[in-house]
Amino acid sequence: MDPTKKTSLAALYYLRFALAAAYFSSVASRFGLWGEGMGWGNFENFLDYTAKVNPFIPRPYIPFIGWMATVAETVIAVFLIIGFRLKETAILSGVMLILFAIGMSLGFNIKEPLDYSVYTASAASFLLAALYRDQKKIAEQIAI
């Protein structure tokens, strides 16, 4: 087996798990699992942040947006780990992250999403989608 293929496959798995971990960490912060003072610390603080990131959305809709983002991030993280519909999951991840980055840029400034590498994570998601066929092919070759 070509060592470059093994390295490529390992890098793609690492990318999947790193994206999933970031999603899980963000969701955990919303529910205070990292503790007060760490990230949002609770769901109410997360909703306040959601309102700032989406200043164009009326406040009564913010809880719905916050819950939808939470559910989407959890599902995407699980799908990334188990490899379910990986290409589609990676594309959805990339779209969601770029929308979030744009919202952060509009609600705060361009520095915010750059500091939190949101554009980078979005690009990584799109790269994962683009390399999906290569990952599948490499995994099949290694299994042989």
User: Is 8 within the bounds of a domain?
Assistant: no
State residue 5's pLDDT score.
76
State residue 140's pLDDT score.
65
Residue 141 confidence (pLDDT) above 80: no
State residue 138's pLDDT score.
63
Of 5-9, 71-75, 118-122, 124-128, the range with the lowest mean pLDDT is 5-9
User: Is 6 within the bounds of a domain?
Assistant: no
State residue 4's pLDDT score.
77
Residue 77 three-state SS: helix
**pLDDT mean over 81-85:** 93
What is the tally of structural domains in the chain? 1
User: Is 144 within the bounds of a domain?
Assistant: no
In the block, residue with structure tokens 């942040």 = 49
pLDDT digits (tens, 9 = 90+) for 22-68: 999 999 999 999 988 888 999 999 999 999 999 889 999 999 999 99
State residue 144's pLDDT score.
46
User: Is 67 within the bounds of a domain?
Assistant: yes
Q: State which residues form the domain around 84.
A: 19-133
At a CB cut-off of 8 Å and minimum separation 6, what does 133 contact? Answer: none
User: Is 4 within the bounds of a domain?
Assistant: no
**Mean pLDDT of the chain, nearest integer:** 90
User: Is 120 within the bounds of a domain?
Assistant: yes
User: Is 106 within the bounds of a domain?
Assistant: yes
User: Is 12 within the bounds of a domain?
Assistant: no
At a CB cut-off of 8 Å and minimum separation 6, what does 91 contact? Answer: 125, 126, 129
How many Cβ atoms sit within 10 Å of the Cβ of residue 19? 24
Of 15-19, 98-102, 131-135, the range with the lowest mean pLDDT is 131-135
